[in-house]
Amino acid sequence: MSHKNQFEIYQFNNRAKYWLVRADGGKYYDDFKYNHFISIHHNQVTLANLQTTNLLLTAEKTIEHYKQQIMNVYQDEELSKHQITFTAKRLYSFVEDMSIGDYVVVPSFKSNYFLIGQITSDVYEKDIADEKLTLNHGYEKSTDIKRRNVNWINEVPRSKVNPKFLYSTLTVHHTIFNITDLSKYIDGLVSPLYFKDGKLHLWLRVNTTLPITSSMWRNLYSIIDQYRNTEIDEEIIATSNVESPGIITLQSIGQFISDNHWMIDSGLLGLSLLFGDVDIKGVKLKGVMPYLRERKKANLEERKLTVEVETMEKDSELKDIQREVEKEKARQELESLREVRAFDISVDSPSVSYENEFQMQTDSNGNQDEG
């Protein structure tokens, strides 16, 4: 199995905030992506302008200070009170409220794609005076000097983003705003298997475009129930947003699940192994379903169960009643496996494609040589 199909069990910091940052309508989306940063407008208002020796104990007082500095910088432009307040709050969010470790979502032009990453630096000002901004990089270069570095974790098409998240964010036209209350729609895009708020979570992607029957759902939930760990009173809560394709979200709640032993106690680990490759602290475990698909032996498990049935039929030492019970159980498992396969379930491995970056750099260097 290739590395791109492996994923680690991820642990979120519950104090991290989530932000949506627009790239000027998607104009600077590729620049953000290839150069690993986010930025904000208003170069005239520098970080030095915003600094003060006064003790500002609340966000309100800090924003009032920002408003005063903005009025001083733009005193010849007659900004309205609304414009000043809006600019102050936007700068406050980027400079003061954002932190290293926070998560960022950046929509592309028309929000066809979304970049998801984690902030890795404090705010800084970049000297772009020497940069050749007119050089053809294959994408628009941001001229904003106030920036934060970002490690991009995933890039997803609009079709893989929850519609409720889209509605809640795309109808708001702020350049930057806090979306921490929508984190449940983002976490599974950072990692499909993660630990947060004392619970283990697993995102399963349903890829089939065919109708899903009640029998298929029954067999899937039966498998989920089989994997739960009754020894720790584990309950696996399932929620779905499936219209073929779609997402099934599983959440594990166990009485004794903790940082020390949740990985080995929770049944979600077994379910994740059924559909994907899992990397636990550097130890990679191969999932059953991807293995069968990769090796083009999708009938391997089916054949195994069939052999078990045939063996049971030939085993003369089994009591008649016991043999019939075991045969029926194997047949039911075989039928359940067939119906669960019909979901075409996978576990997405987060990735960001940089396949066009080399060509853009090549074109850029060629144009530079011609000049």
Q: Over its length of 371 residues, how does the chain's per-residue pLDDT go in tens digits?
A: 334 457 778 889 999 999 999 999 999 999 999 999 999 999 999 999 999 888 888 999 999 999 999 999 998 888 899 999 999 999 999 999 999 999 999 999 999 999 999 999 999 999 887 565 556 668 899 999 999 999 999 999 999 999 999 999 988 888 999 999 999 999 999 999 998 888 889 999 999 888 888 888 888 888 888 888 887 788 889 898 877 688 999 888 765 444 444 455 678 888 888 887 777 666 666 665 555 455 545 555 666 777 777 776 666 555 666 767 777 777 777 777 777 888 888 888 899 988 766 555 555 455 444 44
CA-based nearest residue to 345, from 214, 249, 230, 237: 249
The answer to whether position 18 is within a domain reads yes
Of 134, 161, 190, the domain-final residue: 190
Strand 246-253 and strand 277-280: the pairing is unpaired
Tally Cβ neighbours within 10 Å of residue 7.
20
Tell me, yes or no, whether 108 and 175 share the same domain.
Answer: yes
The answer to whether position 224 is within a domain reads yes
Tell me, yes or no, whether 103 and 208 share the same domain.
Answer: no
Phi, psi of 292 (to 5 degrees): -65, -40
b/e map 249-261, b = 16+ CB within 10 Å: bbbbbbeebeeee
What the block records as the tokens of 356 is 């066009």
Q: Which domain holds residue 284?
A: 196-346
The answer to whether position 361 is within a domain reads no
Contact partners, residue 108, CB within 8 Å, separation at least 6: 23, 26, 29, 114, 115
Q: Write the CATH number for 146.
A: 3.10.590
Of 166, 190, 214, the domain-final residue: 190
